[in-house]
């Protein structure tokens, strides 16, 4: 199958590589020449533009940062003659795996439908490790028929595929999950920082909590304390992984959604404020687990 892949960032790049490894022919594109060079070196065929990438593709996949990027790509910027939807052949399946507002997914799906194109939302969980290993969890907003059409492609990039509901429902499931993740990373960071301030070894404390009632995904796979888990972004100076500003975007989406349906999400709101302060202190580009730095005692702080 010929697949166009748009957005070769921390997640999209390895996802596209897995599709190629599975035997699909992939035409990939990113606005960043750096990202294109990196994945050309990994063996991907890079197209000269998004419009060139979608020529002859049966499936188009996008993995972009936020709602405005997805809107601009598919619908065009205000004043443009039209977005990528005008270049995609009718009958094509478009899978957007970016985490964006459910309303934006529905807006693009509506425009796609008018052009005879199937557009579904399929945001993911599992981090960069899951993208590389091909073990992502997909949360799909689509009709049953659209999901079954997408399934063979999604299976090459992930191991869990959930049908959340109609278009947009994948995004709603995703922001519920990421609100929980944002909160639990702060809680995990606070607990380790408290133990360390009391002289405990972060490795020993993490293992105790991992196997106790505080056990969670951060302790299993993504420990925020440097040196506890070699594979975690914390042990690589918080480079790569899931950026603080992307977490901030997701917590903002969760609060907007909560406001729209009058849901009560006080911890989600507090978590958003804490990541916003962390970002404003200059850490927006670091992995979100670097929030621990805002919660730990500085080595040079005088003990009083
Ligand atoms: P990223 O910033 O590393 O990559 C996004 C890429 O999109 C960049 O390379 C950028 O140049 C490119 N891009 C932007 N607009 C474009 C356009 N119009 N055409 C072509 N390329 C364009 O982000 P990421 O970490 O890969 O995350 C992508 C999405 O996945 C986000 O919505 C994020 O919230 C979500 N997500 C990320 C993780 C993670 O661990 N990083 C996990 C789950 C979900």
Beta bridge partners of 5: 28, 61
Tell me how far apart the alpha carbons of residues 142 and 37 are, in angstroms, rounded to a whole number: 33
Domain boundaries, the chain: 2-165, 172-303
With beta carbons less than 8 A apart as the criterion, state whether 238 and 287 touch.
yes
DSSP conformational letter for 44: P
Report CA(150)–ligand 1 centroid distance (Å): 20
Q: Which CATH class is domain 172-303?
A: mainly alpha
172-303 matches 2-165 in CATH topology: no
Give the burial string for 64-95 (b: 16+ CB within 10 Å, else e): bbbbebbbebbbeeeeeeebbbebbeeebbbb
Tell me how far apart the alpha carbons of residues 66 and 136 are, in angstroms, rounded to a whole number: 19
**In the prediction, which pLDDT does 11 show?**
97
- If 0-12 CB within 10 Å is exposed, 13-18 middle and 19+ buried, where does residue 97 land? buried
Report CA(240)–ligand 1 centroid distance (Å): 12
Mean model confidence pLDDT for the chain: 96
**In the prediction, which pLDDT does 300 show?**
57
3-state class of 160 per DSSP? Answer: strand
Fold designation for 2-165: Rossmann fold (3.40.50)
**In the prediction, which pLDDT does 81 show?**
72
pLDDT digits (tens, 9 = 90+) for 126-150: 999 999 999 999 999 999 999 999 9
Q: Which atom of ligand 1 is nearest to the CA of 98?
A: 32
Residues of the chain by 3-state class (helix, strand, coil), percent to 5: 50, 15, 35
Among residues 163, 174, 150, the alpha carbon closest in space to that of 101 is found at 174
End-to-end CA distance of the chain: 65
pLDDT digits (tens, 9 = 90+) for 266-285: 999 999 999 999 999 999 99
3-state class of 139 per DSSP? Answer: strand
Task: Report the nearest-CA residue for atom 14 of ligand 1.
Answer: 64
Q: Which atom of ligand 1 is nearest to the CA of 123?
A: 44
Asked if residue 139 has its Cβ within 6 Å of ligand 1, the reply is no
pLDDT digits (tens, 9 = 90+) for 43-84: 999 999 999 999 999 999 999 999 999 999 999 987 777 899
Tell me how far apart the alpha carbons of residues 197 and 185 are, in angstroms, rounded to a whole number: 18
Side-chain-side CA neighbours of 273 within 13 Å: the count stands at 5
- The mean per-residue pLDDT over the stretch 161-176 comes to 98
Within 10 angstroms of residue 19's Cβ, the number of other Cβ atoms is 22
pLDDT digits (tens, 9 = 90+) for 196-225: 999 999 999 999 999 999 999 999 999 999
Catalytic residue annotation: 174
With beta carbons less than 8 A apart as the criterion, state whether 1 and 28 touch.
no
**In the prediction, which pLDDT does 40 show?**
97
With beta carbons less than 8 A apart as the criterion, state whether 114 and 75 touch.
no
pTM over 0.85: yes
pLDDT at 290 over 60: yes
Asked if residue 31 has its Cβ within 6 Å of ligand 1, the reply is yes
Report CA(203)–ligand 1 centroid distance (Å): 32
């Amino acid at each position: 199958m010929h697949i166009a892949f748009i957005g070769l960032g921390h997640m999209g790049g390895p996802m596209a590589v897995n599709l190629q490894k599975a035997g699909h022919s992939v035409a990939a594109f990113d606005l960043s020449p750096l990202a294109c060079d990196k994945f050309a070196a990994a063996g991907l065929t890079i197209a000269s533009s998004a419009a060139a990438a979608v020529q002859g593709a049966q499936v188009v996949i996008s993995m972009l940062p936020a709602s405005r990027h997805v809107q601009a790509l598919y619908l065009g910027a205000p004043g443009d003659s039209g977005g990528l939807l005008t270049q995609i052949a009718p009958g094509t399946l478009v899978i957007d795996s970016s985490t964006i507002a459910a309303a934006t997914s529905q807006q693009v799906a509506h425009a796609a439908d008018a052009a005879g194109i199937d557009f579904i939302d399929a945001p993911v969980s599992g981090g960069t490790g899951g993208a590389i290993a091909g073990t992502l969890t997909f949360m799909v907003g689509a009709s049953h028929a659209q999901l079954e059409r997408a399934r063979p492609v999604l299976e090459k990039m992930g191991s869990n595929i959930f049908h959340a509901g109609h278009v947009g429902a994948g995004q709603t499931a995703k922001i519920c999950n990421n609100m929980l993740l944002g909160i639990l990373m702060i809680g995990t960071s606070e607990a380790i920082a408290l133990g360390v301030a009391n002289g405990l070894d972060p490795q020993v404390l993490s293992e105790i909590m991992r196997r106790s009632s505080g056990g969670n995904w951060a302790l299993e796979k993504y420990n925020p304390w440097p040196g506890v888990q070699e594979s975690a972004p914390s042990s690589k100076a918080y480079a790569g992984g899931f950026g603080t500003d992307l977490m901030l975007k997701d917590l903002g989406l969760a609060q907007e959604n909560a406001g729209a349906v009058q849901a009560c999400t006080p911890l989600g709101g507090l978590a958003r404020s804490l990541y916003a302060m962390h970002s404003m202190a200059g850490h927006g580009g670091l992995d979100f687990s670097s929030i621990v730095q805002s919660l730990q005692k500085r080595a040079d702080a005088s003990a009083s």
